[in-house]
Structure 1
């Protein structure tokens, strides 16, 4: 087994990885799952958001509950929650996590004819939940698209981003105050 100093020395020699801050590559530049075994378990929270724009008529169908496939926002909420729980099955180097909370909210905006999706994901663990929050948002919005595409194929998913993360060694981060 290599010592910590040997691994750090190899990392400095690995092409394209030295000083990059990219943690999903080993010392020889090969992709790997990050070892989080030595990290402390802390309360981890991530909030992500995204928007789907659509025709005003499509938004009216969603809000009235008359979509042919059913309750669009209710089904999208369940899909988003399920997606957060399955993130490690979808993104190869994500750790499987025992999530303690997934909250998904949809906020219709008639002025812009869009729906904002916000997902807050929490765990008590050794790694963050940003990917789970982002996955929840994307799948929630894709579900809206799927359920409404028969009447509006021009919908646009935009502005998907992490708004904040809390917990862990790197501390808290908030997009509103990030440099």
Structure 2
């Protein structure tokens, strides 16, 4: 396997995508934030003082998608045609899923992963006053479609 983010001198560079074909590309990433049951209850009951946690986290995740190239040095600044964040509230955790799409020469895997991370960090920020023990984890790409490398589905 060849690493593509290094030039002939072994230094980092942004991959040139001029010769790639534009295709429809979709990426789905997931993650979770574990917390006390009492914290989940406060979120569900709308009693977190900073506001509606999941609404703010959803907006933050979408903003993360749009700013990925500002955060990850070798990511291309790409046109995003769609982004959605979904939450599944469990007894002691919130599962996060991000779906991002584009039509372009490079994929949106990093954007989907950044969306999940940003949403989870926002939940942490909004709830840290009542639960500093929260744990963010299991952030992973579960699916991607399009592009030269084809489709990927995590097993």
Residue 112 of structure 2: SS of its match in structure 1?
helix
> What do the CA deviations read for 1:82-125 (whole angstroms, capped 9, x no partner)?
00000000001000010000010010111xx0000000000000
Compute the displacement of 1:28 (Å).
Answer: 1.5
User: Deviating runs (4+, > 3 A) in structure 1?
Assistant: none
CA distance in 1, matches of 2:86, 2:45: 17
**For residues 33 and 67 of structure 2, what CA distance do their matches in structure 1 show?**
22
Of 31, 35, 38 in structure 2, the residue corresponding to residue 54 of structure 1 is 35
Please list every run of 5 or more consecutive structure 1 residues that lacks an aligned counterpart in the other structure. Answer: 1-19
Q: TM-score normalized by structure 2?
A: 0.99
2:127 aligned to which of 130, 148, 155: 148
Q: Which runs of 5+ in 2 are unaligned?
A: none
| Alignment-derived partner of residue 8 in structure 1 | none
Structure 1 position 166, deviation (Å)? 0.2
Deviation at 1:173, TM superposition (A): 0.3
TM-score (norm 1): 0.86
- Alignment root-mean-square deviation, CA: 0.6
Partner residue in 2 for 1:32: 13
SS of the residue 1:99 aligns to = coil
| Greater relative contact order, per chain length (Cα 8 Å cut-off, separation 6+) | 2
Encode CA deviations 1:55-106: one digit per residue, 9 max, x unaligned: 0000000111111000000000000000000000000100001000001001
Q: What is residue 50 of structure 2 aligned with on the other side? A: 69
How many positions carry a matched residue from both structures?
Answer: 155
**Of 139, 162, 165, which residue of structure 1 is paired with 2:144?**
165
Q: Deviation of residue 49 (structure 1)?
A: 0.3
